[in-house]
Structure 1
Amino acid sequence: MAVGVLPGQANGWPPCLGGDSDVESAPFDTPPSPLSAVNDHADRAKGVNGHRPHSDPPSRFLDTLQNLGLGPSNGAHAGVSVFTAILPSTDGYVARSDFLQLRLQDFPFPIAKIQQCVDALKKYTAPRLSPASASSEDGLADLVEQAAGVIQWGDLEASVSILDLQQYLLGLTHELRDRLNDASWLTPRPIPRKRVALIRGRPNLTAGGHVYRAARALGLDLVIIDDEGHWLQLDTDDNRQHREAFLAVDMTEDAGVADRIIAAIARYPLPIHGVFTLSDNFFVTTARVAAALHLPANPVTAFETSVDKYRSRQLQNAPGHTARVSSVDDLDALLSSAAFTPVYPLIVKPTKGWSSECVSKVSAPADLASAVAKATARHGSAAVIEPFFDGPEIDVNFVLLDGEVLFCEVADEPPCRADRADANLNDTFSPEALTLPSALPAREQAVARNAMRDVLVRAGFRTGVFHVEARIVNSAVTYSDTGDGVVDLVLREGQDKEEAATAACKLIEINARPPGFRVSVPSRHTYGVDFFAAHMLAAVGDHDRLRLAARPFDHAPREGRTRGAQYWSRLVYVPAPKAGVVRWSSSRTGLSPCEELKRRRPDLRDRIVVAVDYCVPGDKVALYTDGARTYVAHLLVCSRVSRKEAIQIGEEVLREFRIDIEDDEKVMGM
């Protein structure tokens, strides 16, 4: 990394250049020192610092920066501009064109602009550097011209002292290493261009934008396969930015849907190297298409197990603990036999379903028939009756390669309405928030990782991205009020945080895909891992880049914060406060609820990482959709101070969110 420093005229520093040795900076008024390598595995970088007053005549260095759209816009600039040029010391092929944007997101130092200077799949030739490379402005210009990327940091005050500037550069260098050192983005072998088909395009740009952008950054040509009339079908300039082509297919979920998709792919004039889906009800179909076309994929039987909640429960089941019924009559017959003895509370849910829809917690025998009737009415599927596992609920997200865990994270879901001791059939398991990294004891996180990896492999999965929902029973921690209104995991009385001998991880369900577009956001920002990119790379069999995509940041663990996490984060779901027609409370300003919140509360705005509204004025919303809570927005907040602060900020955001919904009789009756 080459760092150039341009102080303003008022500073009065001498026009000389100084160098640093690794992260130990020399004074800036000393003679230049030799460049020294920073250990960055395959992509080692070089470091050097320098500065010049703006009062000097225009230079080639400034011209080079300005040609990239960087640098001060005029000579009257009075602040100190700092630039970092990314100069890998080895040749290689670019794995992802927006690598810097991905790895520098939420950087703790303000960034003015990032200029990525390479394209995906193209070869990058490392410059042959010498100590003289950064000892003049012409030399710095040469470095910038050969850089794989250049970062312009937010300007410092012109009055900043040399000591403060040196400390700033040291902190910046350490942070860059945590983000870039363990994530090589150049591969030694050429990367062939491949084409991947998404079966069932996303319903809108909000849900699909991350997928389309990741494909473009990876140099993957994306083909969408969906019903006639999908919004990506029209051959417009905007749609061409998101996909190469659209193949219209009758996607009716019948016995012939896989054959229709196979025929459409066969008619396409260009080769397709992989297929994937993000739609739960098309997992098995997509696996059958891949098998028929001899494309990379996990076995069809693995997906058949994962989408059937009765079959997937058998992966961990004890005899007599789980049952499947197709009707209330089946339930009556089951209860009259000795094969199944229900132990309350228990869970009733459709064998086929998602998003916690029509899932009921049954605490008394009188409610069991109603729960079965609700579950069997959804998708026309049977109902599974299984134990309710009491303990902290978690998401365990994996990137696997041939059974090897490339990346695993554990995230905490705080208790929802159905977790309450007095929950009834109308209370749902719809999530209310998600907190990263997990506050489970390290040993319990290891239990979850090992148990859920084994479940995936037993189901038949070997490679790909998997979102597993589970609970920890006999955990050493439980949710409790920790003070200041914060409910979080705390040690049970008399428990040792490191004692997890009796803790076990119990599967709730397997989702053979990345977490949903909402739940993927915290992982990408907290750890720097893009699950959608990894999912597509697995689909085309690009294992070299799959390994690169699964590498998290290298931030050291601190006060319970998992290695690799750059901060604590809290994903907040905003449920519809009532049923009716959406009327934004900020209609007079024209701002959406999320934007209005950030304007009204600038103190919260600086802690909000991502904010996404789901509704526009005139939309009709219900309290529940398919038996699960209806959400109107999600927001991700962060804290570099503590997990408790992240939770507090999330709760404050939820309290301050405002959306007007007018009563509507038609919606109220939904």
Structure 2
Amino acid sequence: MSSVPIDYALDRRHMPGMQRERIPDASMQDELGADAEVYGSSLRANFMPPGMQLIAGDSPIMKSFVDATPSSLLSPMFQNLPALKPDKLKVASDEAQALRRKLLRGANVLIIQGGYSGKRFVYERLKELGVHVTIMDGPDSIWRGAAEEGLLEGFAELDFTDHATVFERAMDVIFGMEQKFDAVTTYFEDAVALAARLASALGLEANSVLACDQARNKRVTRQVMAACGLPVPKFKSIFTKDDIDAAADYVGFPAILKPVFGAASMGVNKVADTEMVHVAYDKIFKTLDVSADTIWAQGTEMVLEEYYDGDEFDIDILLFEGECVYAKVSDNWACWEPWFQEVGTNCPSAYPQSKQDELIKLSVDTTLALGFKYGVFHVECKYTSRGPRMIEVNARMGGVSVYDCNRVAWGVDLVEEHMMAVLKIPIRPVIPPTPMRFFSETAINAPFTGTMESEDWLNDLKKDPRVSFVHYFKKKGEKVIGPKDGVPDWIGEIRVITDTSVEEGCELIRAFMRDIKVPIKPTEPGTECDWFFPDHMHPFKKVLE
């Protein structure tokens, strides 16, 4: 066993940025009535973990655990603590939110795999809210130390490397614990299908195993959408190299080749002809190594699909009992193709409201078509020359700056709302009629390969009071990869918050990028170039006009 705790590094850009609101520990006795009802809790689901697609929701293994689950596993929270009638909570008001927070306090939640260290702010926030979190993770996980320091209520050790037996062993661990849980969930992509199956077996399900599986597989998502009459691109599965030519003939060009189980743009390539598909397939396939990333235990199938033109957006959604209670659009700045490396975002969106409404409708319709009912969802779309089109539904809270931008612009805490939803506490966030403030963020990509010459090259920006956060992903002396040699590395991040407009924040970042010198010594002299910045796309094109 390694003596060094494992720190997952899947999302290198996500760092806690904003101050968290601290919730007072208040009694809810005055708000309870004699006719108060008691109701249960649950899960919110996401991505399929390694090997779990082999354990179907209606399999004999699942049914045997469901039948054997004792009712005593329900937490005392829902055995002894009455909750207000749902009608009193299905109101968007500060008073109702205060009551919801009081119900949330004291809940016992099992989180399957804590993820990388950048997710620490999630557990800090849950602790502030009074949620008792136990994380089940591997023997060398960094979250064991977080439990020892008091951030978590507890830590449950489980070896996740044997994917074929992980469900049964996880159930054994749960049955052996003294702690009783009100919900089972996860904030780590690889673990969501396992969390869904465990929650279902324990009678704590919010979103079904089927819904999670359909969202996780990009091909299946397209098939479900098509069956529901929603617009989809032309697409074709590629299981082996022998499928490439037929897929290329059917889909045409330009096209996108990507693994159906990828995440965070992993393995996504834009291709212009059949030869490029063959080259990209070979390159991607070499990276689908379970020993390097367990996400590929889910499968190595790829899909070739029609390339969408237009501007890209994120739509963050909250559902409760199959009803959308929150949906807001953020602008994604044009990705760096052909790797689709993210460059930046702003919230709220500067797009015409009528087109935002179309994007929201497609996002909500797709999320419901997949079978989801509860929690937070991060949906990616484009507004094309033919109208809104779906890229993918992420059945989880988005990473990077998604949490912060929704808090800044709309005052909505996605961590809090998600946890309430999976506990079956009705959610109705208070949404202001106009944005509270304006959030812009850029993640800076290395423009060429070389060695970092500085680790304070963004420090001067801190003098501007509108700059809320700067972060360095690479230290002085570290090697970085530029586009000529592979997917460009992120080397820095800037976040800006203004009181006036989206345009002010975007223009400020654009000015910063014109002035900042590239702090990289090139490996190959003569390859130097300036930053990639999407001036040609929304929202910058609109600013120029």
TM-score by length of 1: 0.59
- The one-letter code matched in structure 1 to 2:382 is R
- Residues 585-637 of structure 1: CA deviation (Å, up to 9, x unaligned): 44xxxxxx55x2345xx2x2x01123333344565544479964322332221
Question: What runs of 5+ residues in structure 2 fail to find an aligned partner?
Answer: 1-17, 32-91, 289-295, 528-545
- Residues 61-87 of structure 1: CA deviation (Å, up to 9, x unaligned): xxxxxxxxxxxxxxxxxxxxxxxxxxx
Task: Judge conservation of contact 1:324–1:383 (CA < 8 Å) in 2.
Answer: yes
Stretch moving more, 627-636 or 444-453: 627-636
Alpha-carbon shift at residue 386 of structure 1 (Å): 1.0
- Residues 457-489 of structure 1: CA deviation (Å, up to 9, x unaligned): 111101110001111123xxxxxxxxxxxxxxx
- The one-letter code matched in structure 2 to 1:650 is I
Task: Judge conservation of contact 2:257–2:268 (CA < 8 Å) in 1.
Answer: yes
- The one-letter code matched in structure 2 to 1:551 is V
User: Residues of 2 paired with 1:181 and 1:436: CA distance?
Assistant: 23
Distance 1:210 1:626, change over 3 A: farther
Pick aligned residue for 2:302 from 366, 376, 383? 383
Alpha-carbon shift at residue 102 of structure 1 (Å): 5.2
Partner of 2:406: 523
Pick aligned residue for 1:122 from 14, 27, 30? 27
Partner of 1:635: 494
Task: Judge conservation of contact 2:254–2:306 (CA < 8 Å) in 1.
Answer: yes
Task: Judge conservation of contact 1:581–1:663 (CA < 8 Å) in 2.
Answer: yes
User: Residues of 2 paired with 1:234 and 1:467: CA distance?
Assistant: 30
- The one-letter code matched in structure 2 to 1:186 is A
User: Residues of 2 paired with 1:279 and 1:225: CA distance?
Assistant: 11
User: Residues of 1 paired with 2:100 and 2:247: CA distance?
Assistant: 61
Does residue 284 in structure 1 map to residue 193 in structure 2?
yes
Does residue 567 in structure 1 map to residue 486 in structure 2?
no
Task: Judge conservation of contact 2:247–2:304 (CA < 8 Å) in 1.
Answer: no
Alpha-carbon shift at residue 328 of structure 1 (Å): 1.4
Partner of 1:322: 235
Q: Equivalent residue of 1:315, what SS? A: helix
Partner of 1:416: 335
**Percent of pairs with identical residues:** 25
Distance 1:585 1:614, change over 3 A: closer
User: Residues of 2 paired with 1:661 and 1:301: CA distance?
Assistant: 47
Partner of 2:182: 273
User: Residues of 2 paired with 1:356 and 1:626: CA distance?
Assistant: 17
- The one-letter code matched in structure 2 to 1:231 is I
Alpha-carbon shift at residue 410 of structure 1 (Å): 0.5
Task: Judge conservation of contact 2:317–2:327 (CA < 8 Å) in 1.
Answer: yes
Stretch moving more, 375-384 or 218-227: 375-384
Task: Judge conservation of contact 2:225–2:369 (CA < 8 Å) in 1.
Answer: no
- The one-letter code matched in structure 2 to 1:397 is D
Distance 1:659 1:292, change over 3 A: farther
Partner of 1:446: 357
User: Residues of 2 paired with 1:541 and 1:658: CA distance?
Assistant: 51
Distance 1:624 1:256, change over 3 A: farther
- The one-letter code matched in structure 1 to 2:396 is R
1:452-531 alignment runs, 5 A limit: 452-474=363-385, 504-531=387-414
Does residue 611 in structure 1 map to residue 470 in structure 2?
yes
User: Residues of 2 paired with 1:576 and 1:401: CA distance?
Assistant: 41
- The one-letter code matched in structure 2 to 1:307 is R
Does residue 312 in structure 1 map to residue 221 in structure 2?
yes
Task: Judge conservation of contact 1:348–1:375 (CA < 8 Å) in 2.
Answer: no
User: Residues of 1 paired with 2:438 and 2:411: CA distance?
Assistant: 13
Distance 1:551 1:625, change over 3 A: farther
- The one-letter code matched in structure 2 to 1:389 is Y
Alpha-carbon shift at residue 510 of structure 1 (Å): 1.1
Alpha-carbon shift at residue 293 of structure 1 (Å): 1.2
Alpha-carbon shift at residue 232 of structure 1 (Å): 2.2
Partner of 1:597: 460
Distance 1:183 1:636, change over 3 A: farther
Q: Equivalent residue of 2:205, what SS? A: coil
TM-score by length of 2: 0.72
User: Residues of 1 paired with 2:100 and 2:499: CA distance?
Assistant: 36
Partner of 1:247: 156
User: Residues of 2 paired with 1:188 and 1:227: CA distance?
Assistant: 33
Q: Equivalent residue of 2:264, what SS? A: coil
Partner of 1:11: none
1:342-353 alignment runs, 5 A limit: 342-353=251-262
- Residues 299-325 of structure 1: CA deviation (Å, up to 9, x unaligned): 101111111111112233479921101
Question: What runs of 5+ residues in structure 1 fail to find an aligned partner?
Answer: 1-99, 104-115, 127-179, 419-426, 475-502, 557-562, 587-592
Q: What is the number of residues matched between the two proteins?
A: 433
- The one-letter code matched in structure 2 to 1:263 is D
Higher strand share: 1
Stretch moving more, 464-473 or 244-253: 244-253
Distance 1:122 1:182, change over 3 A: closer
Task: Judge conservation of contact 2:447–2:483 (CA < 8 Å) in 1.
Answer: no
- The one-letter code matched in structure 1 to 2:332 is E
Partner of 2:61: none
| Structural RMSD (CA) | 3.2
Partner of 1:158: none
Distance 1:520 1:216, change over 3 A: same
Distance 1:320 1:442, change over 3 A: closer
User: Residues of 2 paired with 1:626 and 1:310: CA distance?
Assistant: 29
Greater relative contact order: 1 or 2 (C-alpha under 8 angstroms, separation 6 or more)? 2
User: Residues of 2 paired with 1:223 and 1:363: CA distance?
Assistant: 48
